[in-house]
Structure 1
C-alpha cells in the first residue's frame, strides 16, 4: 500500500485490531505507536491511545499502560472516562511498584475531582 494512500490509516488501525485479537501484543503496540506518530490529528487517535493502553496492560507492561491511561485522561472530555482512567493509572503504577507515580496520580485525581458533585469539576490544566 502506498505510504500516502487515503485508506492507509484505517488499514493500519484494522491490522492492529487483528493483532490484538491474536494477542500479538508487541506487533500491535508497534503498529499502534507508528499510527500515533504517522497520523497525528487523525480522528482515530483517541481510539489508538485506548488500544495502546489495553495492549500494554495485557502484555504486562504496567508502567507503560499507566502512562497511556494518563494520556486517556488528558485527551478525554468525558468526566467519567477521565476519572476511571486516573484510577486505573494509579492502580497500574501501584502494581508496577512505582509508589511515587501512584501517589502523584491519586493526588491529581483528588485535585481534579475533589467534589462528589460532578458539576464542581475543575481541570487545573484549563486554568493556565
Structure 2
C-alpha cells in the first residue's frame, strides 16, 4: 500500500484551496493539488456541523478515511486531497459513499481503473 498522510494545518488547507483544482458531485467536493517530488499523498477532511452532532461527524470522517485508504493503491501519488462532504452524505450508507467518492475521484482523473475495489 502506498503511503498516505493527513493534512491537519490550516495553512496547508489554504494552499490546497487556493492553488488546487476542485471537482464535485452532489455528495462530495474534492480539491486536488498536484506536487512533484513527494513519495506520498496527503488527505484532509472537512465535515460541517450541519451534518449532525460530533458522533455523526466522526462517523462520516471514519467512513471517508476507510474508503480513501481502499483507493490508495489506485490513486496518483504526490497529491494533496481535501474532501468536503455535503448534506446528503449524512443519510448515505457506506457503499453509497464509496460509489459517490469513486465517481468524483474519477472525475478528477486521479483514480485509475486498474483493479476493482471490493464492496462491503
Q: Which is richer in strand? A: 2
Higher Rg: 1
Name whichever structure is richer in helix by fraction. Answer: 1
